[in-house]
Structure formats: structure tokens, C-alpha cells
Chain A
Amino acid sequence: MDLLPTAEQTEIANAATELLSKELSTAQLRARIGEADAVSPAAWQACAGMGLLALGLPSSVGGADCGLPEETLLFREIGRHVAPGPFLATVLAGHLALAAGDEALAGRLAAGSVRVAHLEPTPGASVTAATLEGRFQVRDWAGAEYALVLGPQVAVLVELSALGPITAYPSIDPGVRVGEVDVAGAPVALALADPSELYLRGLVLVSAQLVGIALAARDLSVEHAKNRQQFGKPIGVNQAIKHKCAEMAVAAERAHSQLLFAAATCAEGRADSEFQARAAKVIAFDAARKNAAATIQVHGGMGWTSEFDAHLLVERAEFLENTLSSRSDNLAALIGLDAPQ
């Protein structure tokens, strides 16, 4: 038992951090506001070139032969950098394609030559292993060939062209493009018979991004509390600020630990995988929302500006909360599941 990342795993996370700061910084995110695509083709290719789209896939399809733990650290870093781009849908699609036996598609996804948009069904929409019907929210579809729908009962890819016309609408998060589409019986291109493992992987990777947000917010606050001078001293000497930072540390540490526990549990296929993954999402969202809000408060007027990054953390957390499952879905599941082993 060693819950913490190994030296090799930490190295992977560090390499991802380096690339994300270089290619997908918040400055670059802002520079692409108004573009259809939140990530430039060059930046996307750079990420693919580093293997970020296929960490958990086997080398036979161009992957890095790593597992969920490594992917978890990558997505934590994506969250920490509030990096834009269809990482989640594309990475999950790679696993879907592989599990469904389409190695060629898995390879193209790994190589970054195919992007996948994310679909969230709105209430009333239906998804089966054969067709999609009803209204869906679409995210980051520019340049995408497929769209992914993933839920506890369903894991499918559809061709983007089969969906019909997408109406773009303004997004609260300048790093996520969002639209709506009314689908009339779009045929599924690829489906998994048993979506449960992929769904849990998705929950863990969403939780990982939320944990990254909680950590980033904590660190921004601590940095500011050390440096910002008021009344002739750093504001961090005041318990009103210091204790807020301490609470952020508790929330982040708790969410991070639960995330690692869930990633390890799911990777080992333990019986309590679903419990741990859903718990990770609930705890991670609470930490991300709380810490992102607290960092705005610690930064005062600056925290509320568009120029400062804190609002990106707030907004991304809300997107992630509405991805694959909501807090109330998870709580409803958690009360029904067996107590963890």
C-alpha cells in the first residue's frame, strides 16, 4: 500500500505541467477567446506528441502503457492549469475505441488526428447503444469528428455530422465552447456493452480536474497572503486570512487523498470502486467550489476582475460538476451502495 504517486508518476505529472504551461496557459486561453476552437491545432498536436492523449493506452495503438493513476495525475494538472481542449472526451474515446475493438480509431485518437466533442444529455434526452434522441449540450466540437456520451448505463461515440446543426451559445467559461443540438435519431457509431469501467474512469478524471482546481486556488491564495501588504504587514499574518487558507488546505488535501484512493481502487478493480469514485467527485467538487470562491475573497478587488485567473477556476468547476454526473446523482448512488471495504 502506497497511496502517494511514485517518482515516475510524479515525473509524468511534472512533464505535463511543463507542457501545459507552455502550450495551454491561461494567457493563451484568453488569446483564443472568439475563436471557434479553444485550442489551436498546433497546441493540440504538441499535447498529442507528448503522449498526453494516450497515457493509459497500450503502445500497440501509440499509447504510453500507463494506467489510470498516471491519467489521474495528468488530469489533475489539466485542472490546475484550467487548460482548455477536449481532453476528457478524447481520452475516454480512446479507451472506448480500444475496448470496442476499433484499434485503428484508438490509434488516430492517440495521435491527435481525431478530436472528440463532449455531449451531456439534457433532461428528456435518450441514449441507447443504437441511437441518440433529444436535446444535448455540446462542448468543444470545433474540429471534432466524433462526440462522446458517457453515463452509468451507456458509453457511445456518434459521428458529429450525424447530430445535426449545433447552436453555439455564450459560455460562462472562456476555455470551454458550448452549444446545443436537437438530435433526431442519430445512429451510434461505436458502443460499449458494459460502460461501467469507462464511466468510473470518467468520474475519476473529472474529479482529478476538480482537485487540480482546488489545489490551484489554495496556492494562489497562499502566494497572495504572503506577499500582499496591508496595515504594514502581509495579510497572511491575520487569522481571518490564515485560517481561510488553512481551510483551503484541508479541503484540497482531503479531495486529493480521496482522488488518489479512488484512482488506485478503480485501477485495481476493487469492489468499492464505484463508491470511491463517486465519493471522489462529491468531495472534489465541494473542495473546488469552496476554494475557488475563497481565493476570490482573499484577493479582494483583484479577485473579482476578469483579468485575474480566479474566475476561470470558479467557472471550470461548475462545468466539471455538470459533467458525467451531478452532486445529487452521486449522493443518491452513495446512499445505496455497500459501505466500502
Chain B
Amino acid sequence: MDVGFTAEQREFREEVRTWLAENRPKQTRPMEGLETRDYDLAWQRTQFEAGWAGVSWPKEFGGRGATLIEQLIWYEEYGRADLPSVDSCFVGLNHAGPTLMARASEEQKAFHLPKILAGDVIWCQGFSEPGAGSDLAALSARGEIDGDEIVVTGQKIWTSFANTADWQELLVRTAPGSSRHQGISWVICDMKSPGIEIRPIKTMDGGAEFCEVFYDEVRIPLANVVGEVDKGWDVAMSTLSFERGTAFTAGQVRLAHVVERLVDAARTVVGPDGKRPAIKDDEISRRLALARAEVASMRAMTYANICRTLRTGSPGPEGSIVKLYYSELQQEVARLAMDILGLDGLKFVSRWLPNSWSGYFLFAFSQSIGGGTSEIQRNIIGDRVLGLPR
């Protein structure tokens, strides 16, 4: 039971901190469209060129091959430096990439992995459908096999960055008449293929990276199937726990900074009595103090989770506990920000701009929905952590 870091780890932290300070993007992130693509890829490329891309990726795939503790340190420093989140590179780095590593052919790996790492391409996820949200196995996008191609017809939805992505990890039903987990294939889809139509969906926080994607007889080479045809469910499940690994650590550290910024704001903003600073208000002061304690407990939970993974060798379902709590805490902090700001909170400021509280408040609603709703997380905790009957 110790929270000390070795001399080597402290040195690593120093190295990360210095590099991030010297190489961080100079401009603030643009808010939407192709400019975000250029911005995110340029930042990824900068990291790649200095050997920092894919800290959690094994060396054999060109990654940093950092230990879990080093990954933790990297993400802590990344969050502490208040750098832009990886956003459009997230799916490639933390979902599609690891899936390819686990299940793709040598040829597929050799073609795609270096591009993801080097910041050449953006990946998006084509999983959810209008009729298949939390119940992913209800998906019905059809993939008919025609010679050496799959012809895809159907619709996907809630696809972040479909409008700027090059590639998509796409789940389609390739076995006619199959249902549920059988007969699905995991396919690499070129987003420039004829027959794909992308319609952005505006979200309540003003974001425009959310999309629905329509497929009208889109022809994808059969060679783009990862794993076996009709066995894609298994491929999709292989990396779910990877997503719950260290990748969210940066966001959690960033949340600690959000709370500290809020404490600072409460020292200057006039409070509910119209006279004293907000922090002098008992209720606001207590909620801020509680938020500080809660952020600390989330960090402790992240540490515990990483240490558990170190011992068992693979991330367990306990990651759902962190994810569930992280979502709730962001929303509580966002509400607290609105309470502190009062009238000023009613001015809309995009979450991509500095000192945006209203944008953050509106954005936070997505956090208990994306990446598996809080209800699904509670099911996972009940079934897989606690062993309750289904």
C-alpha cells in the first residue's frame, strides 16, 4: 500500500512534463469541421515524431510500450497540462487500433496501425444503429457477400467524427437470417466509398462532430473483414475492457483541474447574496469541498484499478465503476458551476473555449450516455463485478 513513485518513474514524469510544456499546440482547438481534423492530426503527428504516440501501444506496433504506471504518469501530466483531449484520434488510438492489434491479419495491421499512430488518419466507430443502441446485438445493417466484396446497406448513428474520418470500424450482419450475436462481421470501411452519406447531428452543446451514416450498397473488399466473417461480435468484445483502461485517466485529471478552476472562480464571482464572493456561501463552499474530495476519491479509484490490472494482467469489469462515477461527477461539477455563475452561466460559451462553464454543463449530459450508458454500467457492475443473477 504505497503511493510513491520510483526515481525512474519520477524522471519519466519530469521528461513528460517538460516535453508537453515545450511542444503543446500553440493555438486553441478549432470548434468544428475539417479544421478540427487538421488540428488533431497535427498534434498526434507531433507526439509521434517525438516518440510519444501510443503510450499504451506495444513496441512491436510502433507504440511507446510504456508500463501501466508510465501510462498513468503520461495521462496525469497530459491532463495536468490542460491539453486538448485526443478527440478525433480517440477511436483509432484506443479502440480500433487495439482491436486490430488483437485480431487483424498481419497485412491489415501493417497497413493501418502505422497510419493511426503517425496521425495520418482518423477512425470512427460504426456500431450503434437507430434500432440498436445499448442493445448492440440488435443491429441490422446488412452486409451481403458478393464475390470478394461485402455490399453494405443500412444505417449507423451516433458516430462521432464520421464527417472527418478516413476509416470506420463497422459492424454489419453478414449471415442472412442471423440474429443477436451470431452472423455479425467486423469490417474496415473506407469512409470515402461511394454510397456513403454522412449527415451531421447537432448536439445540445453546439457540437457538430456527431453524425448519422447511411450506406447504400457500399462495396467493401472482403479482405477488410477483421477476424472471421460472421464472427465479428467476438472481435468487437475483445477490446471493450481496453477502452476502460488508462485512457480515461487524462479526463479524470482534467476534471480535478476543472474543480480547482471552479474554486478560483468562486473566489471572484459574486455569490447568491449579491454581496460576498460565491465561496463565502455555505452551500457553495461545502459542495466545492465535497467535489474536491470526490475528485480525489476518483483518482484513488483509478490508481486502485490500475494496480489491480497490474496484478491480474488484464483490466477487469471494475473499470465500469470508474466510468459510472466519472460520468456522474462531471455532471455534478457542471451543475455546481452553473449555481456559482448565476446569470453569467446563461451566456453560451462553447466548451472548446477557455473558461467555458455553460458549454461544459451542456456537454456533461453526454457523459452518462456515450461509451455505454450509466444503466448499462450498473448492469455490468451487478452481473460481472457482484455476480448477481441475470
Contact = CB atoms under 8 A, between A and B. Distances in A.
Q: Do A and B come from one complex?
A: yes
A320 interface: no
A44 interface: no
Interface string B1-27: 111110001000000000000000000
Contacts of B318: 253
B382 A242 contact: yes
Interface string B125-161: 0000000000000000000000000000000000000
Interface of A: 1-6, 9, 69, 72, 218, 222, 225-226, 233-234, 236-237, 239, 242-243, 245-247, 249-250, 253-258, 260-261, 263-265, 267-268, 270, 275-276, 278-279, 282-283, 328, 330-335, 339-340
B31 interface: no
B87 interface: no
B294 interface: yes
A245 B324 contact: no
Given A1-B9, A234-B388, A254-B321, 5 more contacts: A4-B307, A246-B382, A254-B300, A265-B3, A330-B293
A339 B260 contact: yes
Contact of A250 (B285, B310, B325): B325
Interface in B237-289: 256, 260, 263, 279, 285-286, 288-289
Interface of B: 1-5, 9, 69, 256, 260, 263, 279, 285-286, 288-290, 292-294, 296-301, 303-304, 307-308, 310-311, 318, 321, 324-325, 375, 377-379, 381-383, 385-390
Given A1-B69, A245-B382, A331 B290 contact: yes
B308 A242 contact: no
A147 to B, nearest CB: 31
18 contacts: A1-B9, A4-B307, A9-B1, A226-B387, A236-B388, A242-B382, A245-B388, A249-B386, A250-B325, A253-B301, A264-B1, A265-B3, A268-B3, A270-B3, A330-B293, A331-B289, A331-B293, A335-B288
Contact of B382 (A236, A260, A333, A339): A236
B379 A242 contact: yes
Interface of B is mostly: helix
B296 A340 contact: yes
Contact of B293 (A1, A239, A278): A278
A206 B69 CA distance: 30
The 7 closest A-B pairs by CB, nearest first: A279-B293, A261-B300, A242-B382, A257-B300, A246-B381, A246-B378, A334-B289
Contacts of A265: 3
Contacts of A278: 293
A334 B285 CA distance: 10
Nearest to A259: B300
Contact of B304 (A69, A243, A257, A263): A257
Contact of B2 (A236, A243, A255, A268): A268
A239 B379 contact: yes
Contacts of B379: 239, 242-243, 246
Given A236-B388, A283-B294, A335-B288, A3 B378 contact: no
A3 B304 contact: yes
Contacts of B300: 3, 254, 257-258, 260-261
Contacts of A335: 263, 279, 285-286, 288-289, 292
Contacts of B310: 2
A254 B298 contact: yes
Contacts of A267: 1-2
A261 B300 CA distance: 6
A137 to B, nearest CB: 25
A263 B1 contact: yes
B307 A2 contact: yes
B313 to A, nearest CB: 14
